[in-house]
Structure 1
Amino acid sequence: MSEIAVVAISIAKPGDEEKLREAVEGIVEPTRKERGALQYDLHRDVKEPRRFVFFERWESEEALAAHAKSAHIAAYKQASADWIEHAEIRVLTKIK
């Protein structure tokens, strides 16, 4: 089992920043309670407030896969689909 990191970025459509903020804030606590979640921190870009960034650490790729299939993530994706202009997820391994 190898720890992995994730950087997940979501950019709200103009005018939908606060809707997206509420949605991303709503998934923080349930995710932190998931098995295998080591870190799940939400940030908002200071210079570009439409950009929300998660820094995540997971025990394994399996834990991340289970997270992706969780009910609260499915509900988040459905609710926020119309508010997101761009989303990007990068899965990383630490090399040093």
Structure 2
Amino acid sequence: MAEIAVVAISVAKPGHEELLREALEGIVGPTRKEAGVLQYDLHRDVQEPRRFVFVERWESQDALAAHAQSAHIQAYKKAAADWIEHAEIRVVSKIA
């Protein structure tokens, strides 16, 4: 399968920025150890500090699917659900 990329954006509810930041930082290490991960970088929007952006690259759609089902991602989703105002995940493929 072809390599894929992901842009995942999470916007914290007002007052929950640091809780969300800590939770997101907590999934970076375990994810970087997963099979099939090529890049997994967390960023914070300079102009809108409630917005966090993951830039990811995966060997395949299957590797991404396994990531979504991993224990640390499931635990993160449960813990952070009340802190997120908006989330968006875009899976893309490189064309140039």
Displacement, 1:23? Answer: 0.2
2:68 is matched with: 68
Verify: 1:90 aligned to 2:90, yes or no.
Answer: yes
Displacement, 1:50? Answer: 0.2
2:46 is matched with: 46
Query: What is the number of equivalent residue pairs in this alignment?
Result: 96
Q: Runs (4+) of structure 1 moved beyond 6 Å?
A: none
Displacement, 1:67? Answer: 0.2
Displacement, 1:89? Answer: 0.0
Counterpart of 1:78, as a letter, is K
2:25 is matched with: 25
TM-score (norm 2): 0.99
Give the RMSD, CA atoms, in angstroms.
0.3
2: CA distance between counterparts of 1:4 and 1:73? 19
Displacement, 1:54? Answer: 0.1
2:16 is matched with: 16
Displacement, 1:91? Answer: 0.1
2: CA distance between counterparts of 1:55 and 1:37? 11
Counterpart of 1:74, as a letter, is Q
1: CA distance between counterparts of 2:29 and 2:93? 24
Counterpart of 2:59, as a letter, is E
1:81 is matched with: 81
1:56 is matched with: 56
TM-score (norm 1): 0.99
Counterpart of 2:82, as a letter, is D
Displacement, 1:72? Answer: 0.1
